[in-house]
Amino acid sequence: MNALRQIAAVTGLSLRNLPSRLGPSLVIVAGMAAAIGVLIAILSLAAGYAELQRRTGDPERAIILPQTADTEGAGAISRGVLGDIIAMPGIARDKDGAGLADPEYVSILLANRRPAGRAPGLATLRGMVRKGLAVRPELKIVAGRMFLPGARELIVGIALQPEFRGFEVGDKVIMQDGQWPIVGSFTTGGDVLEGQIIGDAATLMSAAKRNAFNSVIVRLDGPNGLKALQQALAARPRLAVRAERQSEYYERTSQDTAGFFHAVAYAVGGIMALGALFGALNTMYSAVGARTQEIATLRALGFGGTAVAVSVIAESILLALAGALIGIGLAWALFNGQSYAFGEVLFHLAVSPALVAVGLAWALAVALLGGILPAIRAARLPVVDALRAT
Amino acid sequence: MRYFPLVWAALWRKPLRTILTFLAAVAAFTLFGLTIGLNATYAGMLARARADRVYINPHFLEFGFLTRAQRDQVARMAEVREIGVSDFFLGYYRDPKNEVVPWFMDQGMRRAYPELPLTPAQWDQLQANPSGVFLDNRTAARLRLKAGDNMPVMTSAPSRRDGSSLWPFHVLGVVENPPWARGGLTLANYDFYEQARPLAQAGHVGQLTILLKDPTRAAAFTDQIDRTFASSPNPTFAVTDKATQQNGAIARFNIPLVTRGVSAAGLFMILFLIANTIAQSVRERVAEFAVLKTLGFSDLGVMTLVFVEAAFPCLLGALVGFGIAMALASKIAGLGALQKMAVAPPTLSLGVLTVALVFAALVAFASAAMPAWRIRRLDIATALRR
């Protein structure tokens, strides 16, 4: 009999007998469901956060920051140098030749979370230039209208509204120089800005008595735009600013947090998986024990040890994958799309296809580790003794 | 105690099964210890939050500011016992990666923030040395600085009155890092800040720290402050210390939700395993239990045997898991990643151990309930015939 047919026959037999070993089999299923569910749930936090940053960072845009500032929050670019910066080569221009640039002002304000009684949280307040909106074509008003240039008006991202109280269209926000109405709400298709408040940069800066922008966001002129811009800026050291691809900026600034989420997920998932592995070993040893006579009979009939061993591992894999799928399904049902507020960054947890693959790969690894020793025992079972032991 | 040899024999009937069950319990309770320990850390932070303390911030943390006049107005309020003024800015030492956040404090902070790790002599020293700072040992180690070193700090904003953006601090001393300031401390002199910053900002106040005479009035006091200044040029956002503590890592990570979820998943995992192990063990020994009952063991007696057999790997696993969690917690406390995220390490207290043991006992009880009931209802004659 050829080896593959042997394996198929023995595996089929062992799987048909599975219902009689339901209890022990459930240990693997439940263990893997819990371990993989926890792993995927925490990873969905990392994935959602990374996805948000990825959507915000557009490789066709660059962020210009002072050389001394690592993040836009720490940046200060005076009005005086703005014209020089926007005139640089490498920046895309509109039909009138004006550079597609958005000098931005970024600040943070305290806001009351929903529901009432929760501790207050931080919200980002971003000032943009009305003309600069051309740099961010993904920003679309969904209710009310856009703020007017020079007006003391604000628009609010749709991700911010469910998290904080007092940010509906028509509400008024206390500002340094009086109350500013919220005239509209906007979407950006799910990026960082959607959890923020936006107003006219010049008006906000005069309210804040600030004279410096935090950063300049520019649209790059073709694939070589960034290089041209960086070279031009390097040739003007007195401007003391540098350009970074926006996608790289968000990747860099989110590294610490993303790395932390991953570390927690793999540490917790690893300990859980270890526990599930001990459970799987226990179950597979007892499965081999319960099948002693069956295995001995098969060996006496001429089935090879390999076929028997493979059937044990196949059973372990099948049960582990079933458990992992349940765990992934639960994580998906409970967490996918849930909104999460990490400081002032609002995002949605995401159980992505890549995470499903990670979960299944972990389950496979645990199943192999948990099946291999019992499989070796099954293959080495002394046939005569086993048949005698009734 | 007379049952012990019986339970011991039962456990070692199939040593591999017992050991694997025990190891799975160790894994589950390692996680349980870490997660419940983390909960304990944050519960402790909340408990330490002073009920009588309130902070008054400008409504706009960055561009807003309070004024000296507001400070004086608040200081005159009948509810106020102590009032301190503080401010901070973001800067770096030598390399933009070496972030430094000098926390400037006036002398009112001595009494309004008594947890600050400065002795009265050090406070006097700080007052006498305008550009002096005290670092905690964590910050000192990170920046490789010691007492007597110069510590020039660059900022992008605010620049100084003379237009320079370099702040020439020098280190007066290094103090012990308090557990509530995991991110580190750079304690600086408020008068120096007030005198060195641009004239346009003179008289601006960053934050007021207040101790109230009556702690029960804290929430009402914050509302009152915000109403008082709502339509002033400098609206306020007053928060209680309790709310501030809640707003830290707890709100950022929703720690209670995450930790409860993880610990529950761990317990769920071993619940099935132990239930199955004990059910198998009991099934294999039905005849043995029948003999025990014939010998006069009571129903309660045989049930106890089953429960103790289940409890053994659970409780021992909980103890060992707790020990491993303790070792891990002390290891991860020093991790830079954790400090960067301002996450405190788990507290593996006696209370946490008690909770772990109680849950271990509950898991054992739940997993042994069915087999124990089966043994109680066991018909001796039928069982012996098998």
Instruction: State percent of chain A over pLDDT 90.
Output: 52
Task: Look at chain B and report how many structural domains it folds into.
Answer: 2
**Other C-beta atoms within 10 Å of A256: how many?**
13
Q: B60: which chain A residues are within 8 Å (Cβ-Cβ)? A: 107-110, 125, 175-176, 208
Q: Is residue B223 part of a domain?
A: no
**Distance between B160 CA and the closest CA of chain A, angstroms:** 14
Q: Is residue B224 part of a domain?
A: no
Over range A109-128, report the average pLDDT. 81
Whole-number Å distance between alpha carbons of A82 and A241: 11
Say whether both B40 and B57 belong to one domain. Answer: no
Q: Is residue B149 part of a domain?
A: yes
CB contact under 8 A, A275 and B269: yes
Say whether both B194 and B288 belong to one domain. Answer: no
Whole-number Å distance between alpha carbons of A193 and A250: 12
Q: A31: which chain B residues are within 8 Å (Cβ-Cβ)? A: 24, 269, 272-273
Q: A124: which chain B residues are within 8 Å (Cβ-Cβ)? A: none
Say whether both B117 and B10 belong to one domain. Answer: no
Give how far Cα A124 sits from Cα of A72, A106, A157, B62, B125, Å: 12, 7, 10, 10, 38
The residue among A22, A38, A253 with the most chain B CBs within 10 A of its CB, best to mutate, is A38
Say whether both B40 and B60 belong to one domain. Answer: no
Say whether both B59 and B174 belong to one domain. Answer: yes
The residue among B13, B22, B62 with the most chain A CBs within 10 A of its CB, best to mutate, is B62
**Pick from B183, B213, B243: which residue ends a domain?**
B213
Say whether both B373 and B271 belong to one domain. Answer: yes
CB A300 within 8 A of CB A387: yes
Say whether both B159 and B119 belong to one domain. Answer: yes
Say whether both B197 and B278 belong to one domain. Answer: no
Per-residue pLDDT at B128: 94
Scan for tokens 């499903």, then name that residue: A356
Closest partner CB to A279 (pick from B156, B253, B273) = B273
Strand partners, B186: B135
Q: Is residue B227 part of a domain?
A: no
User: Helices B15-48 & A246-290, crossing angle to 10 degrees?
Assistant: 140
What is the sign, positive or negative, of the torsion defined by CA atoms of A181, B219, B247, B211? positive
Three-class secondary structure of residue A158 per DSSP: coil
Closest partner CB to A107 (pick from B24, B62, B268) = B62
Say whether both B159 and B186 belong to one domain. Answer: yes
Say whether both B57 and B205 belong to one domain. Answer: yes
**Pick from B213, B228, B263: which residue ends a domain?**
B213
The dihedrals phi and psi of B187, each to the nearest 5 degrees, come to -95, 120
The residue among A243, A225, A354, A315 whose CA lies nearest residue A21 is A315
Over range B214-230, report the average pLDDT. 89
Burial group, residue A278, by CB count within 10 angstroms (0-12, 13-18, 19+): buried
What distance separates the 2 farthest-apart alpha carbons in chain A? 95
ipTM reported for the complex, 2 dp? 0.84
Give the pLDDT confidence of A216-267 residue by residue, as tens digits. 999 999 889 999 999 999 999 988 999 999 999 999 988 888 888 898 899 9
Q: B280: which chain A residues are within 8 Å (Cβ-Cβ)? A: 23-24, 286
Q: Is residue B266 part of a domain?
A: yes
CB B134 within 8 A of CB B187: yes
Structure confidence at residue A61 as a pLDDT band (50, 70, 90)? very high
Whole-number Å distance between alpha carbons of A305 and A94: 74
Give the pLDDT confidence of B70-127 residue by residue, as tens digits. 999 999 999 999 999 999 888 899 988 888 999 999 999 999 999 999 999 999 999 9
Give the pLDDT confidence of A161-220 residue by residue, as tens digits. 988 888 999 998 887 777 899 999 999 988 899 999 999 999 998 887 788 899 999 999
Q: Is residue B244 part of a domain?
A: no
Per-residue pLDDT at A289: 87
Domain that holds residue B290: 4-46+254-385
Q: Is residue B248 part of a domain?
A: no
For the whole model, what pTM was predicted?
0.82
Q: A286: which chain B residues are within 8 Å (Cβ-Cβ)? A: 17, 280
Q: A366: which chain B residues are within 8 Å (Cβ-Cβ)? A: none
Say whether both B157 and B281 belong to one domain. Answer: no
Say whether both B267 and B159 belong to one domain. Answer: no
Closest partner CB to B268 (pick from A30, A41, A281) = A30
Q: Is residue B280 part of a domain?
A: yes
Structure confidence at residue A37 as a pLDDT band (50, 70, 90)? very high
